Amino acid sequence: MTQENPPAPLVFQSKIKLRFRNADPAGVMFFGQILGLAHDVFEDFIKANGILWEDWFQNQDLVCPIRHTEVDYQAPLKPGHDYLVEAKVVKISQSTFNMHYEFKDHLNKLCARVQMVHVFVDPKTKQKAQFPEKYLKTFARYCLPSL
Check whether 3 has a pLDDT greater than 70.
no
Is residue 83 within 8 A of residue 105, CB to CB? The reply is yes
> Under a CB-based contact definition with an 8 Å cutoff, are residues 142 and 88 in contact?
yes
Residue 130 has pLDDT above 80, yes or no: yes
Single-letter code of the amino acid located at 8: A
pLDDT the model gives residue 52: 95
CATH number of the domain at 16, please.
Answer: 3.10.129.10
For residue 147, what pLDDT is reported? 41
Average pLDDT for residues 96-113, to the nearest whole number? 97
Averaged pLDDT of the chain: 93
Burial of 72 (0-12, 13-18, 19+ CB in 10 A): exposed
Residue numbers of the domain that contains 118: 12-140
Residue type present at position 68: H
Residue 88 lies in a domain: yes
Strand partners, 110: 104
Task: Give pLDDT tens digits for 41-85.
Answer: 999 999 999 999 999 999 999 999 999 999 999 999 999 999 999
